[in-house]
Amino acid sequence: MRTKSRRYLAVHLRFEPDMLAFSGCYYGGERRELGAIRRRWKTLSEADLDPERRHGKCPSNSEEVGLLLRAVGFGNDSYLYVASGEVYGGEETLRPLKVLFQNFYTKYTLSNRGELEPFSLYSSRMAALDYIVCDQSDVFVTNNNGNKEMMAIGLMNIAGSCTSSYVTTGSFSRSAVNYNAGCNSVVSNVVMALTVMVTLLLLTPLFYYTSRVVLASIIVAAVLGLIDFPAAYFIWKSYGR
């Protein structure tokens, strides 16, 4: 990409069929096809799509990504690299983004078939190629459902740096508690902070003699809820061989 332009932006476009099926989000007449893929995960329930989309939990499609980039100031002459797997809908899905950015590149357009052949049989190697190009980009954008929260956390870190605050991060155990409690935004961190403050000020004597074994078991019990064993088995059965 550096041979094409001194500066470029990279987009991680998560729009693979299994990704869309897992999210439960639909964008047109593909409900039946993606619904059949979604039913492979028996632990997934039917999602109410409108609230999910309003809360930023659906992957943005290529047109939405393109319009967002144009809205923040990237012109039609900007150089764009798209990192993705098998895009659902193929060229038809990518067409709006190509119209918005004439300098559109992927790993397939930057290399020939012979160069990609050693990597093509391994999805992890193909993903590594995308990672290298994205890592070297000047601007990186992703359309998956965690992007909005990461943007919010980034803004919190920028604002906090002006007042010598600690950098905002997310621990695995806290993510598990948020998930099990049904939290939908970083507002849950405010509730958590208030709960911890009340506990430290008023309830510390009650927890003073709690052993480390008990504390560890609480964390393990919470984190186990994040592990989807049927999905892991399905992925291993489908792709691990």
Whole-model pTM over 0.85: no
Q: What is the pLDDT of residues 187-241, one digit of tens each?
A: 887 888 888 889 888 888 888 888 888 888 877 877 777 677 777 777 677 655 5
Q: What is the CATH number of the domain that holds 143?
A: 3.40.50
Whether residue 66 has pLDDT greater than 70 = yes
Q: Are residues 142 and 175 in the same domain?
A: no
Q: Are residues 19 and 81 in the same domain?
A: yes
User: What does the pLDDT average to over 71-97?
Assistant: 88
The tokens of 104 are what?
Answer: 């559109």
Average pLDDT of the chain is 78
Amino acid identity of 153? I
* 179 or 82, higher pLDDT: 82
d(CA 194, CA 202): 12
Residue 202 lies in a domain: yes
DSSP E strands, 7-118? 9-12, 79-83, 103-105
Query: Around Cβ 113, how many Cβ atoms within 10 Å?
Result: 8
Domain count, the chain: 2
Q: Are residues 59 and 131 in the same domain?
A: yes
Q: Are residues 75 and 178 in the same domain?
A: no
CB 83 within 8 A of CB 13: yes
Residue 187's domain spans which residues? 171-239
Residue 160 lies in a domain: no
Residue 137 lies in a domain: yes
Residue 139 lies in a domain: yes
Q: What is the pLDDT of residues 125-147, one digit of tens each?
A: 888 888 888 888 888 888 775 44
Residues 6 or more apart whose CB falls under 8 angstroms from that of 33 comprise 17
Q: How confident is the model at residue 8 (pLDDT cuts 50, 70, 90)?
A: very high
Residue 63 lies in a domain: yes
